[in-house]
Chains A and B, each alone.
Chain A
Amino acid sequence: MRMNQRLLIVIAAVAALGAAVDVAAADLAAGKAKAAEVCAACHGVDGNSATADFPRLGGQHPDYLAKALRDYKSGQRKNAIMAGFAQGLSKQDVENVAAYYGSQPVVVSTRH
């Protein structure tokens, strides 16, 4: 019992910490504006890129897109083009752009 209480406190503390560090909720309108400015030339306004080398982003999971952008930014994922663009995005931009493309009509989907 005592152990469980301790565990609960730890879980609550970790959750609170996570919430505090987290950026504000994604802003779709801001994401759309940023996407049009930075991403659309290659990935398309709706994420349906016309060029085979550039992945389609429409309908992709936002948490995956945000993770990809963070990795490009940190250099963990190496791509000369994307590194440059990701550098120019703030943490909030990353969330906004990821949420925007994720909200677009599904271009990529889960295949059964």
Chain B
Amino acid sequence: MNKTILLGAALAFALAAPAAMAQGAAAGDAAKGRDKTQMCQGCHGIEGWRTAYPEVYRVPRIGGQHEAYLVKALQEYRSGERSHPSMRGIAASLSDQDMADLAAYYAQAGAKGVAK
């Protein structure tokens, strides 16, 4: 009887733990994200700022972009799937939580943050 309960408890824990951990990492805090933008503002906070290397084009506008897309972009820079040198360096220094927080912050920026 006890064995059955133990087994059931272990099973329940095994099923629940990964789900709880996944949820913990996924939630972004926009207020915390705002405090982490120092590395972003030098390019993404300046309207019309251009990349210098390896190709010259204006850095993307990210205020109001979808949160999930922003997280994915950062993850792809970190993994090397996306290759921009500056973004790879910056993304490599970010934790999953940093990425979630930054994405939450920029996603809610929206049209009210429109560049002058």
Contact = CB atoms under 8 A, between A and B. Distances in A.
B109 interface: yes
A64 B59 contact: yes
A27 B69 CA distance: 28
Contact residue range for chain B?
A: 20 to 34
A105 to B, nearest CB: 8
Contacts of B62: 108, 110-111
Interface in B62-116: 62-69, 72, 81-83, 106, 109-111, 113-115
A63 B45 CA distance: 17
B61 A78 contact: no
A59 B115 CA distance: 11
Contacts of B69: 52-56
Contacts, number: 85
B66 A111 contact: no
Given A53-B72, A61-B61, A109 B44 contact: no
B81 A109 contact: no
A24 interface: no
B74 to A, nearest CB: 13
Contacts of A56: 64-66, 69
Interface of A is mostly: loop
A61 B111 contact: no
Interface residues of A, number: 24
B58 A64 contact: yes
Given A109-B114, A110-B47, A111-B106, A67 B65 contact: no
A77 interface: yes
Name the 7 nearest CB pairs between A and B, nearest first.
A111-B63, A110-B115, A52-B68, A61-B58, A63-B57, A109-B63, A111-B109
Interface of A: 49, 51-56, 59-61, 63-64, 66-67, 76-78, 106-112
14 contacts: A52-B69, A56-B69, A61-B59, A78-B81, A106-B64, A107-B111, A109-B61, A109-B63, A109-B115, A110-B63, A110-B115, A111-B44, A111-B45, A112-B113
Given A56-B66, A107-B64, A109-B113, 4 more contacts: A54-B66, A59-B61, A76-B83, A110-B113
